Each structure stands twice: as structure tokens, then as C-alpha cells.
């Protein structure tokens, strides 16, 4: 009988080695220690033995049963661990891997230029102001000394909003897409304490014939200083400082006298074309110069209309074309390219 117990043990060890999964283990358990199993078959013969032999075989059979149960449990844990590591291997995901750089987003060249300008002005103590892109005629023109029927309005080909769209307007008020950032000057002078040092970046709209320098919406940056006793000298010093920080050291700048209705005196400021070094390209139309800024002393009437005492305060202001500055900085031959969502262009910067 002992010999048979030994056989069962050997059978069990052999089959346990072959077991691949839970089902195999369950079958092995059934075949060995369950009611119809091999061990039970042997125990059925116990009745023919004497008491001592019965006792001895009973103890050994129990010990074999425990051996089988313990080893099935150990094998079950081993198989579970193995299955888990196989899943782990097949579904491996290394979250520390670097994201492919070609899929990274980045700033648009106009945003890069605008951010650079904002940083320069903030370092000089300017505050950033913003205003609505749909503007009142009063702020876009009237309060800037450009009343209705003034010929200067022709300079700005304006997108007017139809009365159907303007359902929220006040009686007699006309709305438009702002043609420049100057309405924010008016809004700021009317609402804030003096003195003022502000910049107004962002989008304006003109009904323009598009070419290398002109687009129907573009990005402007305006700056305004209203202070006691500021003069054209302060204007030139500020411009010089900003241009040195913004463009390259050997930039050649020229001032041309100009006249705007809301200014006195005023100048247009050109830089020598970086794209063709003053020879010929589409950006400068062969002149060798690109108009980047308008600069002016604020007209006393504009100050008075905005509630500022022109006897006490004076002011100066600039407009610059962010698009044209970006073209010069990045050597892009036409401002229009910035609005055409061309990844090939944008990814270079
Ligand atoms: Zn040029």
C-alpha cells in the first residue's frame, strides 16, 4: 500500500510539472485527492488492514494529501505570476519616453515678435492695455480729431458693421472693425489716472488691396506716453532704445516728416530693408526702405477731447506693424505668408 502511495506521489509530481494553467491544476487535484481520485481508491482498502497498519497508512495518506494541496497552491501562484509578467511585457508602455519633437507645438512668428516687443516695453515700465476689436466710430475716428467727412478717413478703408448686426448699438452710434489700435488710447485716457505709459498690441482690420506689405487684417503695436513736459526728444530716445533692443545693431533708420490729423508733429520711420540690404525685393518694392512705424506727438485737441489738460500734459505715440517687423526679423518676403497657415514656413522659427 505504501508503494501505491509512492506511485501517486510520483504521478502527481510529474503531472504538476506539466501543468500550464488553472484548469490543469484543477484536473490534477480531482485525479488525486477528490472522491474519485487515486488516493481515495487506496483508502478504500484500509478496512482490510490491522489497526496499526491502518493508522500508519492513514497518516501517510493525509501527509500526501497535504503535500498535494500545498504544491498545487504554490504552482498556482507561480503560474499567476508568469501570466502577469507576460501581460506586463506585451503591454509595456514607457511613459518616460520623450514625445517626438516634430509633433510639439510652437509659437507663430507673429506671436514671437509680439512677445518680444511686449518684453522690451515692460522692461521700460510700460503697461499693456487692450480694447475691443469691434469699435465705436467715435473712438476710432471722432475723438482722434478725424470727424465725419474729414478727408483723412480715406486713408483707412474701413469695414463698417451693418445696422442689422448692430442691434445692441445705441441710437445714432456706428460700429466698425477697428482700423487701428488708437481707440484704446482714447479709452485709456478717459478712464485712467495720469501720467500714462501704455502699449496696445494686436489685431486691426482694413479693406485693403492685398500685396507683400498689406493684408486685410494685420497686427499692430501702438505705444503712448502722456506725461508732463515730454517732447519730440523723448520720442526719439524711446524709439532709438526700442529699435536697438528689437532689431540688429547696424539697423539703419530714417525719419520722414509726415502729417496725421491726430498728431503734431509726426514722422514716418523706415528701416533699411534687411531682406535685400537696400537693393530690391517685393517687401520694399525696390525702394530699399520698409516703413515700420509712424510716430507723433499727440495733438492737443485729442488730449482735450479725452479729458487731459494740454497745458499741463503732452504725449507721444507710435504705431508699428508687427507683421513687417516679423518679416524683417525672420527674412520673410511677404507679410501675407504669415496668414496662410503654412507649417513649412511657421516651423522654421
Ligand atoms: Zn528689400
Q: What is the span of the domain harbouring residue 163? A: 109-346
Q: Tell me: do 171 and 256 sit in the same domain.
A: yes
Q: Tell me: do 312 and 167 sit in the same domain.
A: yes
Structural domain ending residue among the three candidates 57, 90, 123: 90
> Is the four-CA dihedral 248, 251, 255, 261 of positive or negative sign?
negative
Percent of the chain with pLDDT over 90: 9
* Residue 14, pLDDT above cutoff 90: yes
Average pLDDT value over all residues in the chain:
83
**Residue 155, domain CATH:** 3.30.930.10
pLDDT score recorded for residue 168: 64
Query: Rounded to whole angstroms, how far apart are CA atoms 220 and 259?
Result: 19
* Residue 96, pLDDT above cutoff 70: yes
Report CA(260)–ligand 1 centroid distance (Å). Answer: 26
Q: What are the contacts of 304-309 at 24+ separation with CB within 8 A? A: 305/143, 305/145, 305/186, 306/143, 306/185, 306/186, 306/189, 306/190, 307/189, 307/190, 308/189, 308/194, 308/226
Report CA(182)–ligand 1 centroid distance (Å). Answer: 28
Report CA(278)–ligand 1 centroid distance (Å). Answer: 6
Please indicate, yes or no, if residue 59 is contained in any of the structural domains.
yes
Please indicate, yes or no, if residue 319 is contained in any of the structural domains.
yes
Per-residue pLDDT reduced to its tens digit, 152-184:
777 767 888 877 666 666 666 788 888 888 889
Per-residue pLDDT reduced to its tens digit, 29-72:
888 888 888 888 888 887 888 888 888 888 888 899 999 999 99
pLDDT score recorded for residue 76: 92
Q: Tell me: do 31 and 120 sit in the same domain.
A: no
Please indicate, yes or no, if residue 216 is contained in any of the structural domains.
yes
Please indicate, yes or no, if residue 260 is contained in any of the structural domains.
yes
Please indicate, yes or no, if residue 256 is contained in any of the structural domains.
yes
Please tell me the least confidently modeled range out of 80-94, 110-124, 335-349: 335-349
**Would you give the DSSP letter of residue 170?**
P
Report CA(286)–ligand 1 centroid distance (Å). Answer: 6
Q: How many structural domains compose the chain?
A: 2
pTM: 0.60
Q: Tell me: do 72 and 119 sit in the same domain.
A: no
pLDDT score recorded for residue 212: 66
Structural domain ending residue among the three candidates 58, 90, 122: 90
Q: Tell me: do 143 and 56 sit in the same domain.
A: no
Q: Tell me: do 119 and 85 sit in the same domain.
A: no
Q: Tell me: do 218 and 337 sit in the same domain.
A: yes
Is residue 151 classed as helix, strand or coil in its secondary structure? helix
Most confident of 1-10, 204-213, 272-281: 1-10
Q: Tell me: do 52 and 130 sit in the same domain.
A: no
pLDDT score recorded for residue 171: 65
Q: Tell me: do 49 and 155 sit in the same domain.
A: no
Amino acid at each position: 500500500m505504501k508503494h501505491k502511495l509512492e506511485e501517486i506521489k510520483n504521478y502527481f509530481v510529474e503531472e504538476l510539472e506539466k501543468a500550464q494553467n488553472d484548469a490543469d491544476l484543477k484536473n490534477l487535484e480531482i485525479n488525486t485527492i477528490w472522491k474519485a481520485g487515486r488516493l481515495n481508491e487506496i483508502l478504500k482498502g484500509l478496512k482490510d488492514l490491522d489497526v496499526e497498519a491502518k493508522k500508519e497508512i492513514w497518516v501517510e495518506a493525509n501527509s500526501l494529501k497535504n503535500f498535494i494541496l500545498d504544491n498545487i497552491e504554490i504552482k498556482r501562484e507561480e503560474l499567476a505570476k508568469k501570466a502577469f509578467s507576460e501581460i506586463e511585457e506585451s503591454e509595456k508602455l514607457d511613459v518616460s519616453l520623450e514625445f517626438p519633437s516634430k509633433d510639439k507645438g510652437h509659437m507663430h512668428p507673429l506671436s514671437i515678435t509680439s512677445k518680444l516687443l511686449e518684453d522690451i516695453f515692460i522692461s521700460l515700465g510700460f503697461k499693456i492695455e487692450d480694447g475691443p476689436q469691434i469699435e465705436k466710430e467715435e473712438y476710432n475716428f471722432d475723438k482722434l480729431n478725424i470727424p465725419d467727412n474729414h478727408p483723412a478717413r480715406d486713408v483707412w478703408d474701413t469695414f463698417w458693421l451693418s445696422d442689422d448686426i448692430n442691434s445692441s448699438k445705441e441710437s445714432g452710434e456706428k460700429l466698425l472693425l477697428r482700423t487701428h489700435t488708437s481707440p484704446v488710447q482714447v479709452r485709456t485716457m478717459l478712464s485712467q489716472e495720469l501720467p500714462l505709459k501704455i502699449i496696445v498690441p494686436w489685431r486691426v482690420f482694413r479693406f485693403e488691396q492685398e500685396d507683400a506689405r498689406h493684408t486685410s487684417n494685420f497686427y499692430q503695436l501702438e505705444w503712448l506716453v502722456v506725461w508732463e513736459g515730454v517732447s519730440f526728444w523723448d520720442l526719439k530716445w524711446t524709439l532709438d532704445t526700442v529699435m536697438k533692443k528689437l532689431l540688429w545693431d547696424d539697423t539703419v533708420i530714417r525719419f520722414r516728416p509726415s502729417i496725421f490729423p491726430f498728431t503734431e508733429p509726426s514722422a514716418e520711420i523706415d528701416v533699411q530693408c534687411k531682406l535685400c540690404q537696400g537693393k530690391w525685393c517685393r517687401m520694399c518694392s525696390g525702394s530699399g526702405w520698409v516703413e515700420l512705424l509712424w510716430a507723433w506727438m499727440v495733438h492737443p485737441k485729442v488730449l482735450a477731447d479725452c479729458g487731459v489738460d494740454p497745458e499741463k500734459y503732452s504725449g507721444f505715440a507710435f504705431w508699428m506693424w508687427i507683421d513687417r517687423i516679423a518679416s524683417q526679423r525672420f527674412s520673410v518676403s511677404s507679410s501675407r505668408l504669415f496668414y496662410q497657415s503654412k507649417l513649412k514656413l511657421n516651423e522654421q522659427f
